[in-house]
Amino acid sequence: MKRFAPAFLLVLALATLAPPASSKPRDPVHEITSEIICPCSCGEVLSGCTCDTGKAMQATVENGIKAGKSKKAIVGALVSQYGEVIRGAPKPEGFNLIVWVAPFAATLLGFVIAFWILRRWVRRRKALVAAGASDRTIPFPSGRSPEAEVDALRARAEEELRELRMKR
C-alpha cells in the first residue's frame, strides 16, 4: 500500500489538472460566465442567472471579450469589483489550497482506515480458525469449551443458591 501511494497521488493530481477534452470550441463568454457565481441573493451560476446584477455582469464579460481582454483580466476585474465570493471555485493557492487538497486527503485516509480495519478482521478470523474453533464458536477466555463453561456457570449458580437458602 505504501509503495503505491505516491503514484496514486500523482495520477490523481494529473487527472484533476488536465483540461477536459472537448471536440468543439466553447463560447468564450459562456466559458467565463460558467465559472462565476452571481453575488446577489439568487446565488446562481452567471451563465444561467436572469437577475439585473447577473445581466450586468454578463454584459461586462461580453464587452471585455469584444475589447480583446483575456479571461484572466475579465475575471480579475469582476473579482476586484464584487470580491472573491463570485468565484465558482477558489484559486488553488495559499489557504484556499486546503479546499482542493482536503477532499482527496480525507478520501485517502478513509481508504487507509477501511483497509486497516478489514485486515484486522481477516487476521482475527484466521487466528480463530487456526486455533481450532469452528466458524460459529468463539473460544472463551478461560480456554474451556462452551459446554464446560456452561457446566461451570451452572455449578456456581447452584452453589450461590445453596448459600442463600442457608442464610434464611
Predicted model pTM: 0.44
Residue 43, pLDDT score: 74
Cell 488553488 found at: 92
Residue 5, pLDDT score: 63
Residue 127, pLDDT score: 82
107 and 63 in a common domain:
no
CATH number at residue 44: 1.10.8.640
For residues 47 and 34, the answer to whether their CB atoms sit within 8 Å is yes
CA distance 122 to 118: 6
For residues 4 and 11, the answer to whether their CB atoms sit within 8 Å is no
Q: Whole domain around residue 111: which residue ranges?
A: 99-167
Count of domains forming the chain: 2
Cell of 129: 480458525
Residue 65, pLDDT score: 87
Residue 71, pLDDT score: 85
Positions of the chain with pLDDT under 50? 135
Does any domain span residue 160?
Answer: yes
Give the single-character DSSP code of 19.
Answer: P
CA distance 75 to 48: 17
121 and 143 in a common domain:
yes
CA distance 131 to 102: 43
Residue 115, pLDDT score: 97
Residue 160, pLDDT score: 94
Residue 17, pLDDT score: 65
Residue 124, pLDDT score: 87
